Structure 1
């Protein structure tokens, strides 16, 4: 049974960091160099509140797992460029054709603007065999909407293997931040495993199995309109809208998925 150690309100989390850190997050999100299309998703991804909840500051050494096209990179990399460090653990160089294209596009993006000059592009694979960052170096490891991919590819073992890599990279006392499409616990007896949604109880249990302490959850990225029961799974909803014009207005009205936002910590001892 899921053990909610604490549910933090938005007000509480915004008070959990020094004012200067919150102002720095606000400034990073307002960066005029962010991709215009990305700005439209701020209402669903809530980047200031989410990064504040995960204790990200301008001094942080941050590892982002599978940064894709760089949605969060555009915020975090400039934020920590002066006093911190940003590792982008992307697809391995020897991954699939899709992975290689995605990695190449990301590297080209990092070379396109001076604000990315200090970004360190590393590699991540749920199967292991790569290094996301030096051991015991990171203040924060972040993963956004990736758990379902690893689960679909390798089940619970893949998730535990991924969590263990994050554990290795983090300093003692460091934070693992997880955002993922949330499956209601009442739907565990359904055919959910390829829906793109994950049960929060599993996400917590497997992280604890890898050595993490579950510190708390937040409803920052919740969406009560999302039932997590759609014809094409989470991809039925925006931004994918896999059904095309079929019921498009209905799914746009729902918005992006209901998401769990989980905070774990690597024990100091």
Structure 2
């Protein structure tokens, strides 16, 4: 009886050890980057709305790739994930606002981002910062060098304030040049219902999906796939202060705050484009 007990304990210990090893091995490099302790707590709390694991997996981003992140903002929400993922194997270009911009907001945002990169060299020391402000500043990475280019909630910025079709197409053309043949462009942006007029794009911060696809195609891209990863059916895209009415901005302050928190972050399109190989 005692021998059976010893054998049972030995088998149980072996099974537990194997399970722990499989659990540790099951975490992919992308999952490890997302769960990293370096990430800002406020950013982590938005994972449920932004789905970084599913989104970056859909775009096919892996270690060893050269990736360009467009306009990461002052705090680099996605940079916190991409930088450690690509630090040892791969390259990350952060195509930020130009430092000599006439916009004070652009200058300060880039300066804050560059400071962030110095705060944790073990994570950010390999990030290369370039300038992007189409059409004047469009050299986001060496031509034909990138496996992936990703842009999160930026297309509306190129369209608004009089940018229109020309600036949007110029932005896509710059991304097209940076990609290798066969490379992938990933786009996430606030989605305007297809029934709404294009003029609603000017002030709302929302973009019609068919419009974004058409502009990317004008630049030479081919639509490869769509995903509803970042969809939010609670969002009507019709708010007093446009998309900024919703979290995380909550531009109305305490007015109807609970209502907009209940809606959550915006309904978003998630599009994957390919640069043709020939």
TM-score, with structure 2 as normaliser: 0.87
**Structure 1 residue 111: Cα displacement:** 1.3
Runs of 5+ unmatched residues, structure 2:
1-24
Q: Which has the higher contact order (CA 8 A, sep 6+)?
A: 1
Equivalent residue number for residue 149 of structure 1 = 157
Matched residues, number:
250
- 1:102-142 deviation line (CA, Å, top 9, x unaligned): 11111111111121111001110122334100000000000
Contact 1:22–1:52 (CA<8 Å) still a contact in 2?
no
Distance 1:151 1:190, change over 3 A: closer
Structure 1 position 203 matched with structure 2 position 212: yes
Among 66, 76, 82, which residue is 1:76 paired with?
82
Contact 2:204–2:243 (CA<8 Å) still a contact in 1?
yes
CA distance in 2, matches of 1:21, 1:73: 23
Q: Secondary structure at 2:204's aligned position in 1?
A: coil
Range moving further from structure 2, 224-233 or 93-102 = 93-102
**Structure 1 residue 189: Cα displacement:** 6.5
Runs of 4+ in 1 over 6 A off after TM superposition: none
Structure 1 position 63 matched with structure 2 position 68: yes
Contact 2:185–2:274 (CA<8 Å) still a contact in 1?
yes
Contact 1:21–1:57 (CA<8 Å) still a contact in 2?
no
Q: Secondary structure at 2:170's aligned position in 1?
A: helix
Among 84, 95, 101, which residue is 1:89 paired with?
95
Higher helix fraction: Structure 1 or Structure 2?
A: 2
**Structure 1 residue 184: Cα displacement:** 0.5
Which structure 2 residues correspond to residues 1-269 of structure 1 after superposition, within 5 A? Answer: 23-68=28-73, 69-95=75-101, 96-113=103-120, 114-153=122-161, 154-188=163-197, 191-269=200-278
Contact 1:58–1:79 (CA<8 Å) still a contact in 2?
yes
Kindly name which structure, 1 or 2, has the bigger radius of gyration based on alpha carbons: 2
CA distance in 2, matches of 1:137, 1:40: 33
